Amino acid sequence: MKLPLAFSFSLFAATVIARDVAQSPIDLHSTEDQTRQDGRKRIAIVGGGIAAASLAYSLYADYGYLQPMDLTIYEVAARVGGRVNSTLVDNLAYTYGGFVDTGASTFSADDWCLQTAIDDAGMRREVVEGVPSYQQPTAGVWDGQTFVLRRDRDLKSRTQLEYARDILKYGLSARKLQKFIRDKLPLFHSLYSNNQDPNPNLPDAIRRLGLEEESRRPADEYLMGNGIPPEIIHNIIQPTVRALFAHNLSDLNAVSALIAMNPTATYRLESEPRGNLELVSRLIRLSEARTLLNTHVSMISRSSNGKYTMVVSVTDPLATLGTKENDEYDAVVIATHLQGAGIEFDFPAPLLPKSLPDFVERHVTHFSTRQEIRLAPSFFNLTIANEIPDLIFTTSGSRISNETDIFTVEHYDTSDGFSGDMIEQINIYKIISSGPIPDSMILQMLGNSPDSSLQSSGVKWIDRQVWPLASPKHTRGPQLDNVELANGVFYTGLSDELLSSMEMSCRMGRRVAHMVYRKLRPPMGFAGHL
């Protein structure tokens, strides 16, 4: 269908502007000097992801009226967001076809911290259910040879009819999984929901909730030990866990498996052009924090008066490396992973373990094709293209590639794209894998020779995102016993050792905000003190 030329030009100009705004660094650095008023406390936050955003907003909104605080966020990247990120879909013709989340993308109805943050940020109208598709997707489990299971939407059972279907297929023992989810998930959802708990340590909170076994025992051993049928583990739980966490069951604790099988609805933010990244950005803006982008904290130094200063290096080649700031802070929160942060301390941190858990690298690949170009059925030993599910889950032994473990392949139903003054339909594919997805593999998945070119095979756009520290290699419960590493120095990262998710990072940010306030709060005689 042809569009009027004037409309096409206006639309092109608007989308180019949207692209430029979305892809330029979100520089939240205020150049104004922040004068320290009497009684104000200064907090340094290292990292700019969802944990930092949740922390900063909670300090400002929940405790700022009780104890005035000045917040400074140090972010090594050119943008905030951490593992939350998005990119515009570009079909190589400088056109705009929407955006895709290249990092953490969905959350559930039970994720109370994220749901609260969305309301605080005024983004409730931008919450949508399910994957970015115009019709209900189909799902299938690929074991390397065939699709061993096919279902609508995903692999979870939510209705009585679906529960009955599982019992007919797997026997009465299928009800055990439903019981575990019903009994254990509410316990996890209550974790850190009450900030009045006098003991903030994560291991203690887990023990009080009765989740110590679930937090430390490998998920596969836990499920088999509790009588879950092997067929359910292989065909349903393992593929669902791989799709959500990009890990095998043996790598994760039982909490992760229970969260993956949560039957409540999943949601995402359709906030163009930044998706979930807009939530992080908006919370930080609302916190009124001074945000320093492209700034790496290499050392945290403690002076004789007990306050902290940052030794920083800036990625700008003209900047002076290893600059020690003059700003002194009453407390420091490390809201990034110590494994890759490269932070040193010039003071004893007795609660910091000598060794930290290893993290794994994960890759997220998006590409788009013309409407008529889809995955080849022959690649999956099929004969009809319509037999390929929109959401392809995989088992641990599927090995679509000998070099790289592919955890999931998703097809987003056709998305509108614009080329010149014409509206066209495009397909968007997303692959989550343990290593890079080369062009040759994409070409083979589309039924072409690995030696041909992407453009000649109908691929219009491709984006590759690497997450060097995606998640812990194994989750066996927190190794650290205390969130406070030293007097006034806090760490949010140990939450990933229990569950690596946006929700857990959000909760830990709010929890540490409460701890910081309790550390710095006014004397008991102060009016309005909690």
* pLDDT tens for each residue of 426-483: 889 999 999 999 999 999 999 999 999 999 999 989 999 999 988 888 877 666 667 8
Mean pLDDT for 126-145 is 82
Please tell me the distance from the alpha carbon of residue 123 to that of residue 269, in angstroms, as a whole number.
8
Q: Residue 128 has what pLDDT? A: 87
Mean pLDDT of the region 78-100: 76
All domains of the chain, ordered by start, with CATH?
34-83+276-356+474-520 (3.50.50.60), 157-262 (no CATH)
Which of 283, 282, 279, 276 lies closest to 59 in space, CA to CA?
283
Predicted pLDDT at 417: 53
Q: Which two tokens stand for residue 353?
A: 């373990």
Residue pair 139/151 in contact (Cβ under 8 Å)? The answer is yes
Helices (H), 309-348: 338-341
Q: Which of 28-32, 68-72, 204-208, 412-416 has the highest mean pLDDT?
A: 68-72
Structure confidence at residue 14 (pLDDT): 43
Q: 58 is written with which tokens?
A: 């909670």
Tokens (6 digits) for 202: 């994560």
| 320: exposed, middle or buried (Cβ count in 10 Å: 0-12, 13-18, 19+) | exposed
Pick from 458, 426, 419: which is nearest to 442 by CA? Answer: 458
pLDDT in tens, 341-357: 889 999 888 777 677 78
471 vs 339, 475, 498, CA distance in Å?
A: 11, 9, 11
- Per residue in 9-64, pLDDT (tens digit) is 343 344 433 444 444 444 444 433 444 555 899 999 999 999 999 999 999 999 99
Question: Can you give the pLDDT at residue 412?
Answer: 83
Query: Rounded to whole angstroms, how far apart are CA atoms 485 and 333?
Result: 10
Q: What angle do CA 342, 345, 348 make, to 5 degrees?
A: 140
What local confidence, expressed as pLDDT, does residue 327 receive? 87
Which residues lie below 8 Å from residue 251, measured CB to CB, with a gap of 6+?
218, 473, 474, 475
**pLDDT of 182 over the 50 cut:** yes
Task: Check if the beta carbon of residue 367 is closer than 8 Å to that of residue 112.
Answer: no
| pLDDT at site 193 | 80
Mean pLDDT of the chain: 84
Q: Which residue has the tokens 């879909």?
A: 89
Give the helix ranges, DSSP H, for 190-335.
Answer: 202-208, 212-216, 219-225, 230-232, 238-245, 254-260, 277-287
Token reading at 164: 């009955």
Is the full-model pTM beyond 0.85? yes
Largest separation between any pair of C-alpha atoms in the chain = 77
Residue 6: pLDDT band with limits 50, 70, 90? very low
Predicted confidence at residue 349, as pLDDT, reads 81
Q: For residue 298, give the DSSP letter.
A: E
| pLDDT, position 198 | 53
Give the model confidence (pLDDT) of 313-339 as tens digits. Answer: 887 655 545 566 678 999 999 999 888
Residue 510 has pLDDT above 70, yes or no: yes
Pinpoint the alpha helices (H) of 317-377.
Answer: 338-341
What is the reported pLDDT for 158?
A: 84
What count of Cα atoms within 13 Å lies in the side-chain half-sphere of residue 274? 18
pLDDT number for residue 1: 39
Dump pLDDT digits (tens) for 223-239: 999 999 999 999 999 99
